Structure 1
Amino acid sequence: MTSTGYAPDVLATAVAAAVRAPSMHNSQPWRFGWRDGGIEVRVERGRALPTAGQGDLGDWAAQLACGAAVFNLRLALAARGTPPRVRLCPYPDDPDVLARLEPDGRPRPATPAELALLAAVPRRRSSRLPFFPEPVPGDVRWRLVEAARAEGGWLDLVVGTAAVSAFGELARGANRVLERDPGYRAEIAAWTRHEPAPDGVPARAGGPVAEPHDLLPVRPFGDQVRAPGRDFEVEPLVAVLGAAGDTAVDRVTAGQALQRVLLTATEAGLAASMLSQPIEVAAARERLRTALSRFGSPQMVLRVGYGQPAWPTARRPVAEVVDAPVRSP
């Protein structure tokens, strides 16, 4: 760290953690740069999803992903003893910069909680496989809710057979709307990888092919036929994550809350997958918000439970996502 900010060589170390954040279709819509002692996170426009991740939602998917990357950056910098102060959407004339991280001026050792979450970063993976029937204990559920609250978000758990069934109907309906869009189907195909690649979703990680009796929809990334007796859980733990509003700042905040929830789940030995179809369809999103009696905006839905380890998905090399350091004149 310099006398006024982070040294440029800190950037690569921190970004190595940041790129492990989740993103829709593993599109990795982020770039990182160093400017005048601060680390900046910017949307990479060429990787924004024109169908599933935008539509009526604008840059929702990219902003959520960049928020998750910001949380990983925070952990990596805290582990160095230099926790950051974060400014969201700091430049009104440059809305693609979603966050700027600067030293908060109070060097300190990382807390045990920060180190535990950082250790979970490389182990966090989206699992599209069926989970085991073992229920998630109440104290672990409370930790997930508190993780979202700690980052300025909220997490509502959908519990009870009737509530879960109603959500499943809502999610399947949203999925049918999406699948009627040729652009949506083409986008899924474009981000499905049948050969090794640094982005996208490997077909082997796509999970089993959907069956008519499944409660929740499955994106068609893979072509695996499920093993006998390995149906998806009848009453999954469904969690809806949201923010106070739906501005860019709200979405980046929600992305940080999402990542804290996912890392908390990983640390607790849980698996999770993201289910965004009810968020992507405006009518379904509003129905979900109303059902939860929330004034805020739902930003993501999670399926959480105990399951076998998921396949890892690749990331682009750090050098490909980092811009050369610049100084203002």
Structure 2
Amino acid sequence: MRDRHSLGMLLQYVRDRRKVILMFLLYQLIFGAICALYQLENLDKLLYGVYISIFISLCISVWDFTEYADRIVKTEEMCSNLENVIELLPQATDRKETQYQEIIRGLYEDMQQLQFNTNLKESEMKDYYSLWAHQIKTPLAAMRLMLQNDEKEISSYALQEELFKIEQYIEMVMHYLRLESMSSDMILREYRLKDIVNQAVKRNAVLFINSRLSIDIMDFDCKVITDEKWLLFVIEQLITNAVKYTPVGGITISLEKNNNKEWLVIQDTGIGIKSEDLPRIFEKGFTGYNGRFDKRSTGIGLYLCKQVLDKLSHRIEVFSEVGRGTKACIDVSVRTF
């Protein structure tokens, strides 16, 4: 097997060096033809020089083949050990090999970065799914307790709220998965902002009923170029957060104009956000003080809102004061296509 491999390597060497070999043979033929045509004297002495040049060429070829075989062996070793390919690269012998090795190093670095990003996303996905599984158990357990209650009458609103939470968790994970390919899922056109807000409030109605919070939607007329489904998701998330952290009082939704821009404002009278937490509320997985207080918080909701709004070219700003509430503002200024 080894002899066959060596023979194959020799044949490959001849194929790779065929131009040089053919050129050498052509020179010898030309030299021999000239000697024969002109019947040069001292032909034996001239042929002696030819024999010496052939011998030297064979020696150089043997040396070159040895280096060639060594590089082939190293290349095969690299192919079987791609993780350490950079360490196994042989010393470049010419400019072309140097350039090829630079390309290999660049591709290797790109591959390492891609692998790192893939592993990071996989790890984040596993962490999120694990947290999501624990989250969804809470409303399921609450519904089971209600159904096992000895009392005959079960509040339909209470069941609807737990069912709504399950639907929200499912919707959030679906949007989380589609975030990477969001651009292909968007349908940008002009919508009436009030219609989208009304949809979001209607879908969250059960939360307002059970929490006994007021909802005040100011009268405004504004058209916005956006994707209805994704903007609706963001407004729902902001409303849900407002309800979650507002024990008493209510939520106001209005349109404010500032510096020639229109802002959709969702304001609550809740517990507020600490000033040191505000700069990080859009970070993935960040829950802050309120999140540690509420064990169900994942730190994903506001992160998704920021990512979605960035892709829709809408800015979001959040202002808050502990004990006085939070104000989330979305830039919905009319834009042309």
More helix by share: 2
TM-score under structure 2 length normalisation: 0.26
Q: Which has the higher contact order (CA 8 A, sep 6+)?
A: 1
